[in-house]
């Protein structure tokens, strides 16, 4: 499957059917349908397009948030360099040119970084929409460049291996790469339930990391997660951090995970704690059955619902939006 969003641009709906351009929007989504290193099921390159199409189905009200879309939410086009680089990286992987794959992933990050830095400079709330986990490294680097940053990672996997199947840029190494970015002072992991011993030892041995294992999760833990975060937060959301009932098609599903109401409570608690959600990413969404089919997309409906709340709570945490007193 080729990277999405490059064909039939004119037929695409606007995000949440708002008809707002990225220039007018306060929350801006950057689609990065990068899929090179996925290790089990494929299909997340189709994630951004499927989420965009599903977003028109989201009813724009949330009992806690009210209607944050009044501040404008929109999706940018896929950067035009990306489809060619994705094809090159896949070819390099087929030829076992692993440093070539890593180099192209580095170019991807250097493309995303200034795009997100510009959005931040304009006072906008950015979301990087993958694609495999790792597409947001450039965005996190941009946010960490401004001031010290904590990353809240919702994920079934710890992603703390220094390399996986010979790749440093693997989606399974996301957190290891985050910790190498200057300005990242804290990594708080939630929903983790599939990892190796070395990752568990890394998590417990590095004072910057706080891992809240899924098996230990209880509602009252949300407050502990929030307390582990510094003032500036990037939320990095791998969809497989949720219960696989909410994302059955994702590439590496694991039993357990956050239920929907826990996910919403976590987002609300971070925003209402007074912390600033600088930016977000949402990764590893695969359209239901691996391919977008109109009217069948459970995975992308869940992701679009989550995207709406990510945008909304980012705007709350910035003082742009006031949550709804009805909630």
State which residue, 18 or 156, has the beta carbon closest to Mn ion.
Answer: 156
Range 157-216, binding Mn ion (CB under 5 A): 157
In the complex, least distance from residue 162 CB atom to Mn ion, rounded to whole angstroms: 17
State which residue, 238 or 243, has the beta carbon closest to Mn ion.
Answer: 238
State which residue, 119 or 187, has the beta carbon closest to Mn ion.
Answer: 187
Is residue 105 left, alpha or beta, with left meaning phi > 0 and alpha meaning psi from -120 to 50?
alpha
State which residue, 156 or 210, has the beta carbon closest to Mn ion.
Answer: 156
Rounded Cα distance, 154 and 269, in Å: 14
Burial of 327 (0-12, 13-18, 19+ CB in 10 A): exposed
Task: Give bridge partners of residue 125 from the DSSP assignment.
Answer: 27
Site string for Mn ion, 229-268 (x = CB under 5 A): ---------x-x----------------------------
In the complex, least distance from residue 266 CB atom to Mn ion, rounded to whole angstroms: 16
In the complex, least distance from residue 192 CB atom to Mn ion, rounded to whole angstroms: 9
Residues 6+ apart with CB under 8 A from 60: 16, 67, 69, 308
In the complex, least distance from residue 207 CB atom to Mn ion, rounded to whole angstroms: 24
Q: How many residues bind Mn ion (CB under 5 A)?
A: 5
Cα distance from N-terminal residue to C-terminal residue, the chain: 42
Helix, strand, coil fractions of the chain, as percent rounded to 5: 40, 20, 40
State which residue, 236 or 305, has the beta carbon closest to Mn ion.
Answer: 236
In the complex, least distance from residue 252 CB atom to Mn ion, rounded to whole angstroms: 6
* CA neighbor of 175 nearest in space, from 185, 165, 162, 166: 162
CB of 301 closer than 8 Å to CB of 57: yes
Range 126-165, binding Mn ion (CB under 5 A): 155-157
State which residue, 238 or 281, has the beta carbon closest to Mn ion.
Answer: 238
* Site residues, Mn ion (CB under 5 A): 155-157, 238, 240
């Amino acid at each position: 499957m080729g990277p999405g969003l490059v064909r039939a641009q004119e037929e695409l709906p606007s995000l949440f059917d708002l008809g707002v351009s990225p220039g007018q929007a306060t929350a801006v989504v950057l689609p990065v349908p990068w899929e090179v290193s996925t290790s089990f099921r494929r299909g997340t390159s189709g994630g951004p397009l499927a989420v965009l199409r599903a977003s028109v189905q989201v009813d724009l009200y949330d009992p806690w948030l009210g209607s944050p879309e009044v501040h404008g939410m929109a999706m940018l086009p896929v950067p035009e360099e990306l489809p060619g680089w994705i094809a090159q990286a896949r070819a390099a992987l087929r030829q076992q040119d692993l440093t070539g794959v890593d180099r192209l992933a580095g170019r991807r990050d250097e493309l995303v970084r200034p795009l997100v830095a510009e959005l931040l400079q304009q006072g906008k709330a950015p979301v990087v929409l993958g694609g495999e986990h790792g597409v947001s490294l450039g965005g996190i680097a941009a946010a960490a460049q401004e001031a010290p940053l904590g990353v809240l990672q919702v994920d079934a996997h710890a992603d703390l291996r220094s390399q996986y199947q010979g790749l440093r840029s693997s989606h399974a190494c996301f957190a290891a790469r985050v910790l190498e970015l200057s300005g990242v002072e804290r990594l708080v992991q939630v929903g983790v339930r599939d990892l190796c011993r070395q990752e568990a030892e890394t998590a417990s041995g590095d004072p910057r990391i706080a891992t809240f294992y899924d098996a230990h999760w209880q509602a009252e833990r949300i407050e502990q997660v929030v307390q582990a975060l510094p003032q500036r937060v990037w939320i990095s959301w791998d969809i497989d951090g949720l219960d696989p009932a909410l994302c059955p098609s994702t590439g590496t599903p694991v039993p357990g995970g956050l239920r929907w109401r826990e996910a919403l409570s976590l987002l609300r608690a971070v925003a209402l704690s007074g912390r600033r959600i600088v930016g977000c990413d949402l990764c590893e969404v695969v359209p239901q059955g691996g391919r977008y089919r109109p009217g069948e997309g459970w995975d992308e409906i869940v992701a679009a619902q989550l995207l709406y709340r990510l945008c909304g709570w980012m705007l709350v945490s910035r003082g742009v939006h006031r949550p709804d007193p009805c909630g």
